[in-house]
Amino acid sequence: MDIVVNEELKAYIDPLTPDEHAALERSLLAEGCRDALVLWGNVLVDGHNRYGICRRHGLPFQTVQNTRFQSLEDVQLWMIDQHLGRRSLSDYQRGVLALRKREIVSDRRARAAAAPAPAEAAPTQPAAAQDEGPPWDVSPPLDTREALARAARLRSSQVLQIEKIRKQAAPEVVAALKAGTISINAAAAVASLPAEEQVAAATAGKDELKQAARRARAPKRKSPDGSAETAPDASATPAPTAPGDEDSIPALRERVAALRAENQALREQVQGLQRQLLEQAAM
């Protein structure tokens, strides 16, 4: 079979960093490709990096078909769910994936609501078969910020900040966030500035981004004519701060919350496995 690489699917999830890609390549060369690549027909769904490395070095690999997919949306939802369960993603990446899932689910539900109701017909198959539902389950609907936060293992405030970053941040600010140069909190603050100021700050580097975040957070004051006026430039007379990055405490709090959510998910998985073992032992 000729495997087809769909560039839209390949680009749907953030690519590996150079270090991550190099580590994966070393692992494949040392141990081989142990996990099967997932296909939808002849379209590659999961394993783009492994597929590229295996082809480059002539390494053998296995494939498996996922027969539940009926559309590209089904594939995208499956990809999102697979990556949301991985611990290597950053908080921002998990938030973006959860927001993408909400968009797909909302669009799908809107189309279903607008479609005319099918005429009722006499049952022609067993009741159990009629209750199977869609080939890819998209519930819960993620129609609240709290539901999004649970799906992404984030706080609701972080989801709000990520929404703001997606809508308002310049690509250069997003790139700095992905690189770990600034925190979600700081990026959301910088995103409220004019686009030209965002680009200039991101181009200048970490220190200027921190100054831009301070300016964005500074309270506004009224000028004599009643119009809004920005408070004095924080970079000119910086307020005393504790040693280190002023965003380190919010960033650490975000990380602690994510780790707690991850630990809870792992505990639930362990409990589920224990129940399965007990059920098998009782049989």
| Highest mean pLDDT pick, 66-70, 135-139, 243-247 | 66-70
- Which long-range CB contacts under 8 A does 5-13 form with residues at least 24 apart? 5/44, 5/48, 5/51, 6/43, 6/44, 8/72, 9/43, 9/44, 9/45, 9/48, 9/72, 9/75, 9/76, 9/79, 10/44, 10/48, 12/76, 12/79, 13/79, 13/83, 13/97
Q: Which residue has the higher pLDDT, 135 or 189?
A: 189
pTM for this predicted structure: 0.67
- pLDDT tens figures, 76-102: 999 998 888 776 788 999 999 999 999
Task: Give me the chain's average pLDDT, please.
Answer: 80
Identify the weakest region by mean pLDDT among 25-34, 61-70, 228-237, 244-253. Answer: 228-237
